[in-house]
Amino acid sequence: MQNELILIVEDEQKIAQILVDFLEMDGFKTKVLNDGENAVEQVKELSPSAVILDLMLPHKDGLTICREVRQFSEVPILMLTARVDEIDRLTGLGIGADDYVCKPFSAREVVARIKVILKRVGKSINTDIVDSRLIYKNIEVDTEKFSCHVAGELVELTPVEFRIISTMISKPGAVFSRDKIMRSCYEDERIVSSRTIDSHMKNLRAKLICDTDEESLLHSVYGIGYKVE
Ligand code: CA
């Protein structure tokens, strides 16, 4: 928990400063942006542990920033809004924020919520490595036996599919580009089209669904690639 960077995007300097004070008191590092213009780039560059994002910002609003960040990152986002009814509207839009806090707020509460989010994320994105097995949620990949189980059921994978899932499951939440996937699954570096990757992913995705799940843990990320989460 110590020294994790929290990016604060807030144009009201007083509010930003209170958040900085309270977060730093708790051992976090902070970075403040006073407008929305470069927020997305800064998330890319700094890869913060979480983002506190105000809704109304100069140049680019929090809604747009949140949507753009979700194109490439699952970083936890806590949205600050000025009105309670905005929270309902935003939740309805499904913009992908993790939590919402209405102004005026107590900084203590915001810090507490950030900690809750970080705990939740930390728990869900860790892969347990037990001897030769990689275990994430209900998927278990054994790199010695070349086996893959989903919810305890053995799943038959092709060698390429097996290499893909072994690579991706070691980093849950991380987005893998088609290039990266290609490099990880074809040792002889032969050139395959990105369509080939897509068809492998489609098959793999279907195989990783178990009876009790509605969707696979393997997701496509529009315009970028794929992730396991
Ligand atoms: Ca504002």
Phi/psi region, residue 146 (left: phi>0; alpha: psi -120 to 50; beta: rest), is: left
Q: Which residues surround ligand 1, an ion (CB under 5 A)?
A: 11, 54, 56
Helix/strand/coil percentages in the chain, nearest 5? 40, 25, 40
Beta carbons of 160 and 185 less than 8 angstroms apart: yes
Residue of 125 and 64 predicted with greater confidence: 64
Tokens of 64: 């747009």
Give the Å distance between the CA of 15 and the centre of ligand 1. 9
Q: Which two tokens stand for residue 2?
A: 């110590």
Cβ pair 142, 192 in contact under 8 A: no
Query: What is the distance between the alpha carbons of residues 226 and 198, in angstroms, rounded to a whole number?
Result: 9
181: left (phi over 0), alpha (psi -120 to 50) or beta: alpha
Q: Tell me what the pLDDT averaged over the chain comes to.
A: 86
pLDDT per residue as tens digits for the range 18-62: 999 999 998 899 999 999 999 999 999 999 999 999 999 999 999
Distance CA 75, CA 190 (A): 34
Contact 113, 52 (CB under 8 A): no
User: What pLDDT is attached to residue 191?
Assistant: 62
pLDDT beyond 60 at 136? yes
Strands 5-9 and 29-33: parallel
Residue 127 has pLDDT above 70, yes or no: no
Ligand 1: centre distance to CA 113 (Å) = 20
User: What spacing in Å lies between the alpha carbon of 97 and ligand 1's midpoint?
Assistant: 17
Distance 66 CA to ligand 1 centre (A): 15
> How much distance in Å is there from the Cα of 13 to the middle of ligand 1?
10
Residue 20 Cα, ligand 1 centroid: separation in angstroms?
16
Q: What is the pLDDT of residues 150-196, one digit of tens each?
A: 988 899 998 889 989 998 998 888 888 888 888 777 665 556 677 78
Please, what sign has the CA dihedral across residues 189, 194, 196, 199?
Answer: positive
